[in-house]
Amino acid sequence: MRLHSTVPTATYRLQLQPSFPFRAAEEAVPYLASLGVSHLHLSPVLEAVPGSTHGYDVVDHSAVRTELGGEEGLRSLARTAREHGMGLILDIVPNHMALPAPATLNGPLWEVLRDGPASRYARWFDIDWAEHGGKVLLPVLAGPLGGELRHFGVAGRAHGDERVLRYHDHAFPLRPGTERLPLPELLDAQWYRPAWWRLARTELNYRRFFTVSELIAVRVEDPEVFAATHGKVVQLLRDGVADGLRVDHPDGLADPAGYLHRLAEATDGRWTVVEKILSGGERLPGDWPVAGTTGYDALRHLDGLFVDPAGAAELGARYRAFTGLPPDRGGDWPATVRRAAYKVITHELAAETERLVRTAGRICEGSHRLRDTAPWALRTAVHEILVRLPVYRPYAVPGRPAAPVDAALLERAAQDARAAFTVPEEACAADVVRDAALGRLGQGPDQRDFCARFAQTASALRAKSVEDTAFYRHAPLLSAAEVGGDPGRPAVSPEDFHAYCARLQHDWPATGTVLSTHDTKRSADVRARIAALSECPGRWAELMDRLAAEAAEPRAPDPHVAWLAWQSAFGLGPANPADAARLAFAVLKSVREAGLRTTWTEPDAAYEAAVEAFVAAHPCGPARAALAPLEDALWPSVRANTLGAALLHLTMPGVPDLYMGTERAYAALVDPDNRRPPAFPAGDGAGDGGLSAGGGDLSAEKLHLTRTVLRLRRARPEWFGPGASYEPLAADGPAAGHCVAFARSGAVVTVVSRLHGRLAQDGGLRGTVLPLPGGGRWREVLTGASFSCEAPVALAELLERCPVALLVRD
């Protein structure tokens, strides 16, 4: 890995939106500087769909978003940040643009819809012009065309003399010379075909972001498209407005490695992290010229440390008994993932897989050796191989040797896929798909297309089937159902955590690390509370049984909803009047995403009403008091999990990214709950409350810890940065397994206790000591206590006031 120009010591993510523009961020700069972060990490800043609360629906790459304050607002924020010793990191979206209403907002797409494949912008978008008679299918109609014709009309454009086709809020260009045709003939004469929105599943002929038809994919593999879509970002970097980049969803690109090399060249190697989700033991490709990932792999290791493995297994058994769910509908994790993948590949992504089948068919037709491979066999092979991929995608490119890891991955998937065929000769279709996906069948247009689209479809399938479906169907321990997580193996041992950190320091020392993001389904503090349930699975299950037996009307429509809602309520913490609407929406979103009883596109109104009524009456009603005894009993674990995860995150290898508001206790559920505009204190927000022996104010404790560590990182970056070292420290004694400790550069030591429920049962920290490295004395900077390293430190003394400690050589 190569060195990068400016490596942040810590970043702070701000989710910009019209209600929190550049000016609001600028007003928060003194406070954020006082925390000790080196850079503000901004959500996308380029022109987006009006009103967008996230900015990933870009409509114009050449302009900074007007609703946020425009380019002058961004430059003003950058100047103020510089005055306070901070820089900016920009989030960029290379994979897709918005297909907005009206389409006039997206200038390049407007010209393509007007001029067709001859447009100068046709190369921007991945459109299969061979389908639908050379027209772009636009799935925007509320119903079938016949019933919607009366809503169409031709009118003048809001700005200019050009005539346009209008449908409700939509406006589309007219092919020159067709303006005066009768409506039916006018529709047939366009380069696009307005269609019922339900046709998107099977008929769409442009590549999109996952299954979101309103986001049309962009072909940044084309050098001209890259230059046009990155010009403004590169200018902002060269002008010193920004220092680095976060790249959104690189797995959606045709050639991520090629794109990242072009980006590194254009940006002179600025610090860049990529939103790459690593599954299981997957490693980030070593040839990517980036600092690392955005940190979901770190999140999984951090969360897993605070999950009791035996307790998690028992929770799984209790969940299956309580819900009665069959293995492939939530009862068993691998079976649930596989069933979800089959459903997504044959429904939501049917258009994408059919394009692969058509392309594979053309490849076979062009080869005497492959010509008799039947389309049904190719379709079966595509489906069976895709659902068996355990990672987001391979990274093969025609004309280059496939990486051994990709070759082995697809070989295993193809071998297993052969079992779906009865006739061995027909099973050879799996070999055809495998070789095409690895780029082994040549370098023609169809071969290149299949190789790229297979990988892009694989990433969409993984995201939709795991993150957006299986995570909501399998819910024994909700804290494990997080982006990058593995609910089948939620616990991480201290040994595995140390091995992971050692790899990071060696291979990707400037990578990003996170605990909460704008995409996490539950904030870190909510997950910390839920993880504590793994320490008392029997007590939780007994409470669930009692609540179900005693519940008055309205009852939960099914046991899964009851488990999900009560565990979410426990994660939110003590009752708050505002929780009812937040929790109801999150649970409703969960059951829609799960897609077992209701969905976004086929809602069951009666079922959804029953879900909302149950949540309001029980987890958000008087019955919520039943959680109080368990909350009191688990408070030591919740406190230890919350502070422990925060301290590990801030001192482990990598660059920690703090999500807005998480320097204090922060309880948020799935978006849009986690994208609420923050409220920052005026000025520098001095005064943080410190630590208390009983941990009465967890929010104040977390702020004190966060501010202390961030300022230390800013003052001594060499202790934590790319040139630092990481040394695991082993405790000795009966409670050694409850301690995670390491030294950074021999100058600072992190100590965290874990699994406090089990720890109390095992007699506490008595008799367990931690040897400190080197000679001299150490100062515990969170409390001010001093310790000598001449003899091992007793953990009971070190952690007397707080379940975590940070020692600096005095």
Which amino acid is residue 351, in one-letter code? A
For the record, the structure tokens of 87 come out as 């820089």
* Continuous segment of H or E residues that includes residue 117: none
Quickly state the pLDDT bin for 612 (edges 50, 70, 90): very high
What six digits make up the tokens of 391? 């990672």
Decide if 40 contacts 14 (C-beta within 8 A): yes
Peptide bond into 554 cis (omega under 30): yes
pLDDT (0 to 100) of residue 2: 44
d(CA 319, CA 695): 32
Q: What value does the mean pLDDT take over residues 509-535? A: 98
User: In one letter, which amino acid is 445?
Assistant: P
Residue 688: pLDDT above 80?
no
Q: Which contacts qualify for 761-765: CB closer than 8 Å, 24 or more apart?
A: 762/734, 762/735, 762/738, 763/734, 763/735, 764/735, 764/796, 765/733, 765/735, 765/738, 765/794, 765/795, 765/796, 765/799
Q: Which single residue is written with the structure tokens 């426990």? A: 570
Burial class (CB in 10 A: 0-12, 13-18, 19+), 650: buried
Contact 46, 63 (CB under 8 A): yes
- DSSP letters, 8-48, are -S-EEEE--BTTB-HHHHHHTHHHHHHHT-SEEEEPP-EEE
Nearest C-alpha neighbor of 647 from the set 733, 574, 744: 744
SS (H, E, C) 728-752: EECCECCCHHHEEEEEECCCEEEEE
Integer CA distances (angstroms), 404 to 293, 394, 411, 457, in order: 21, 11, 10, 21
For residues 501-513, average pLDDT = 98
Contact in structure between 530 and 490 (CB atoms under 8 Å): no
The whole-angstrom separation of Cα 703 and Cα 810 is 23
**Tens digits of residue pLDDT in 295-304:** 999 999 999 9
Per-residue tokens: 266: 């254009």
Q: How far is CA 595 from CA 164, 329, 470, 485, in A?
A: 38, 10, 10, 20
Dihedral sign for Cα 367, 368, 374, 378, please.
Answer: negative
Q: How far is it, in rounded angstroms, from Cα 592 to Cα 569?
A: 19
CB of 567 closer than 8 Å to CB of 522: no
pLDDT of residue 158: 56
Identify the H or E element spanning 80: helix 70-83
φ/ψ bin of 493: left (φ > 0), alpha (ψ from -120 to 50), beta (otherwise): beta
Residue pair 328/336 in contact by the 8 Å Cβ criterion: yes
Spatial separation of the C-alpha atoms in residues 601 and 623, rounded to whole Å = 33
Buried b (16+ CB within 10 A) or exposed e, 416-426: ebbebbeeeeb
Q: How is residue 621 annotated by DSSP?
A: S
pLDDT mean over 207-211: 96
CB atoms within 10 A of CB 84: 14
Q: Considering the chain, what percentage of its residues have pLDDT values greater than 90?
A: 92
* Torsion sign, CA atoms 774, 777, 781, 782: positive
The pLDDT assigned to 774 comes to 83
**The token pair that represents 668 in the structure block:** 């948020």
**Could you give the maximum distance between any two Cα atoms of the chain, in Å?**
92
Report the C-alpha gap between 231 and 220 in whole angstroms: 12
**Mean pLDDT score of the chain:** 95
Using a cut of 0.85, tell me whether the model's pTM lies above it: yes
Residue, of 757 and 194, whose pLDDT is higher? 194
CA distances from 232 to 21, 86, 525, 569, 701 (A): 19, 21, 37, 44, 42
In degrees rounded to 5, what are phi and psi of residue 172? Answer: -125, 150
Sheet containing 163-167: which strands, arranged edge to edge?
152-156, 163-167, 170-173
- Mean pLDDT computed over 342-364: 97
Of 296, 295, 313, 305, nearest to 803 by C-alpha is 305
Structure tokens at 530: 């839920």
pLDDT of residue 687: 60
pLDDT of residue 472: 98
Integer Cα distance of 512 and 515 in angstroms: 11
According to DSSP, residue 304 is labeled: H
Q: What is the mean pLDDT of residues 546-561?
A: 95
Encoded tokens for 113:
């819809």
pLDDT band with cut points at 50, 70 and 90 for residue 348? very high
- Strand, helix or coil for residue 609: helix
pLDDT at 3 over 60: no
Give the CB-side neighbour count of residue 542, counting CA atoms within 13 A.
6
Query: For the segment 634-670, what is each residue's pLDDT rounded down to a tens digit?
Result: 999 999 999 999 999 999 999 999 999 999 999 999 9
Least confident of 534-548, 695-709, 718-732: 695-709
Cα 681 versus chain centre, distance: 28
pLDDT bucket at 145, cuts 50 / 70 / 90? very high
Is 265's pLDDT higher than 90? yes
CA dist., res. 688 & res. 703, Å (int): 6
User: What average pLDDT score do residues 345-373 get?
Assistant: 96
Helix or strand (DSSP H, E) at 56? none
CB count, 10 Å around CB of 415?
A: 15
Q: Pairing between strand 786-788 and 777-780?
A: antiparallel
Phi and psi torsions of 239, nearest 5°: -85, 0
Residue-level pLDDT at 4:
47
CA geometry: angle at 297 spanning 296 and 303, to 5°?
85
User: What is the spatial distance between Cα 470 and Cα 341, in angstroms, rounded to a whole number?
Assistant: 9
Q: Report the distance separating Cα 483 and Cα 520, nearest Å.
A: 6
Q: Which long-range contacts (CB under 8 A, 24 or more apart) does 233-236 make?
A: 233/46, 233/61, 233/90, 233/92, 234/266, 234/267, 236/74, 236/90
Residue 267, pLDDT > 90, answer yes
Residue 1 has pLDDT above 70, yes or no: no
Residue 381 burial (C-beta neighbours within 10 Å; 0-12, 13-18, 19+): buried
CB 197 within 8 A of CB 335: no
- In this predicted structure, what is the pLDDT of residue 690? 59
Tell me which residue has tokens 């790319």: 722
Length of the chain: 810
Q: Which residues contact 218 (CB under 8 A, 6 or more apart)?
A: 94, 95, 96, 97, 124, 125, 126, 225, 229
Residue with structure tokens 């379709």?
A: 379
- Backbone angles phi and psi of 719, in degrees to 5: -75, -20
What is the DSSP-derived secondary structure letter of residue 347? T
Average pLDDT score over residue span 318-338? 97
pLDDT on residue 356: 98
Is the CA virtual torsion 495, 500, 501, 505 positive or negative?
Answer: positive
Cα(268)–Cα(262) distance, integer angstroms: 10
CB 444 within 8 A of CB 364: no
What is the phi-psi region of residue 228: left when phi exceeds 0, alpha when psi lies from -120 to 50, beta otherwise? alpha
Taking Cα atoms as reference points, which of 790, 801, 729, 798 lies closest to residue 766? 798
Return the higher-pLDDT residue of 789 and 565.
565
